[in-house]
Structure 1
Amino acid sequence: MRTKTVSLEAEVYQRLRAARRYPGESFSEVVLRATWPEDTTTARELLDSYRTGREHFSDEELDRIEALTRRDLPPEDKWADR
Structure 2
Amino acid sequence: MREIRFKDARAKLSDATDEALSEEEFPTTPNGCKDAMPVCWSDGKNLSPGPSRGRLLAASPLVDDDLPDRNGAGLRDLDL
TM-score, normalisation: structure 1? 0.29
TM-score, normalisation: structure 2? 0.30
- In our comparison, the structure showing a higher alpha carbon Rg is 2
Q: Could you say which structure has the higher helix fraction?
A: 1
